Amino acid sequence: MMEKRMQHATNRLRPERLWWYFEELSRIPRCSKNKERVIRFIEDFARKRNLQFKKDSASNIVLIRPASRAMAHMPRVVLQSHVDMVCEKNRESRHDFMKDPISLRIEGEWVKAENTTLGADNGIGVAAMLAVLEDETLNTGPLECLFTTDEEIGLIGAFELDPSMIAGKMLINLDTGDLGVIYIGCAGGKDSHMTLSIDRRDPSSSMWFGELRIGGLKGGHSGAEIHLGGANALKCMGRALFHIGKQFSFSLFSLAGGDKLNAIPREACAKVAVEKTHAEKTRRAFLEYCENLKNEYRHVDPGFSCDAVDCGAPVRIFDEASTEALVNLLMIVPHGVLSMSRSIEGLVETSTNLASVSHENELVALHMSHRSSQDGALDWISDVHGAIAKTFRAEILQNNRYAPWTPNPDSTLAKCAAQAIRKVTGKEPKVTAVHAGLECGVLKEKCGGMDAISIGPTLRGLHSPDEMVYIPGVETFWSILLETLNVVYGEG
């Protein structure tokens, strides 16, 4: 059963049905935690096609495609993607992620969104699974298509999966962004949430109040793109404020930047109070220091921008000690790559991301995400943040830990996918691990062991409004996926 073709931006792209479903998904608001509509869309899809489906208490849903004739005896393969997306937008965008559809556009050989994240992570994987499920011409054994929820905020759906819904022991995850690469492992992760108590005082009538801004950064995925060395807006702001503080005293009364734990902050804003005699010096010191930062990051973040403008007077400001503590904390909290893998060339082993800072009432909250392919190193970087919190007399909560997905170089699925890639592309595939977190390790543990791989098309700019998907790569990815199933079921 196929819906009537609507006027889509991707109408002429191939494979037609994959792109059709991707654009349909783009019409459905589906930020993490906002899953009801997209799950209902998948349920309706299953009912219209008389497909058996199961749903658990976390709203994970499994659709089952019966085996083709004479293949009922073949082993079950599980295809898996997550339905949620990271919702980030540029400052000038008025997009409301709770109700507005993602506006797609084609630029050369790439599909992008208008000033927001695209949702190709992991919408392309979801669309591919729907296209497989409805294609009656495919000759396969039994397929289980697992759509998980709330992956982007800590693999929540995978952790809460009811394993009784899954019978298959071969898992093909469709959530990576490098065409022709087979991933057989990923880093583990953990989050830290630090809260610093602040004291306030009344501002004086002799003060100037200014808003200092840093923006225009690429940001990106804190796992897949941390190695690119782009600027972190919060770390840059901390450096600039520390530089100002070496010359004269000031007080903060607002500090904010970043939003998502798994995204590198692209913007930061600090509101400061200084004596009017230091107003111009403050403005000049900030802008001059930002010029140095702009030069430092010119090759990786050419869009770096900064500004210093007047702003309204606050009712209360942070006192000098609280301001100093917060600026020092921004300077000390680590960010970026901490070590590289000793066994896989070019792979980040351990990293940490200062993801966001916000404040409410008498508390400033800092949120960090840590990743490592080594359990011991993951504990170490968590302990580093614990020691920092203790030094600053801050509270810290550490949660959402998930173990690394340990690579299996003898994976049968990896060999099948490698054969498929050679046939489709004529090239030798790369078999490796990824520093980003994937659900495979959690799902393997939940389901009592599975042979697992992850593949995908070419995606860039993940977790930022620069997110894009390479159009020719999607058709190749589709061919690789179908050929991998052919090989698994003895048809390749």
pLDDT in tens, 446-469: 999 999 999 999 999 999 999 999
Query: What's the whole-model pTM score?
Result: 0.86
Determine the topology of domain 190-402 in CATH: Alpha-Beta Plaits (3.30.70)
Residue 171 pairs with which residues in a beta bridge? 78, 452
105-124 exposure pattern, b = at least 16 Cβ within 10 A, e = fewer: eeeeebbbbeebbbbbbbbb
Residue 44 has pLDDT above 60, yes or no: yes
CA–CA gap between residue 306 and residue 216 (Å, rounded): 8
CATH architecture observed for domain 16-187+405-488? 3-Layer(aba) Sandwich (3.40)
Q: Where are the alpha helices (DSSP H) in 252-349?
A: 279-296, 320-332
The confidence score (pLDDT) of residue 4 equals 41
Q: Is 84 a catalytic residue?
A: yes
The confidence score (pLDDT) of residue 389 equals 98
Domain assignments of the chain as residue spans, ordered by start: 16-187+405-488, 190-402
> Strand runs (DSSP E) across 295-449, as ranges?
305-310, 317-318, 336-340, 348-360, 363-372, 395-402, 430-434
The confidence score (pLDDT) of residue 3 equals 44
If you average pLDDT over residues 213-242, what whole number do you get? 96
Catalytic residue among 23, 24, 84, 466: 84
Catalytic residue among 151, 152, 267, 466: 151
CA–CA gap between residue 69 and residue 139 (Å, rounded): 8
The confidence score (pLDDT) of residue 492 equals 55
> Residue 449, by phi and psi: left (phi above 0), alpha (psi -120 to 50) or beta?
left
Phi, psi (rounded to 5 degrees) for 361: 55, -115
Of 8-17, 81-90, 248-257, 263-272, the range with the lowest mean pLDDT is: 8-17
If you average pLDDT over residues 87-113, what whole number do you get? 95
CA–CA gap between residue 151 and residue 184 (Å, rounded): 19
Q: Compute the mean pLDDT over every residue in the chain, rounded to the nearest whole number.
A: 95
The confidence score (pLDDT) of residue 1 equals 44
What token pair was written down for 273?
């109070």
The confidence score (pLDDT) of residue 462 equals 93
Q: Where are the alpha helices (DSSP H) in 82-167?
A: 120-134, 156-159
- Confidence band of 490 (pLDDT split at 50, 70, 90): confident
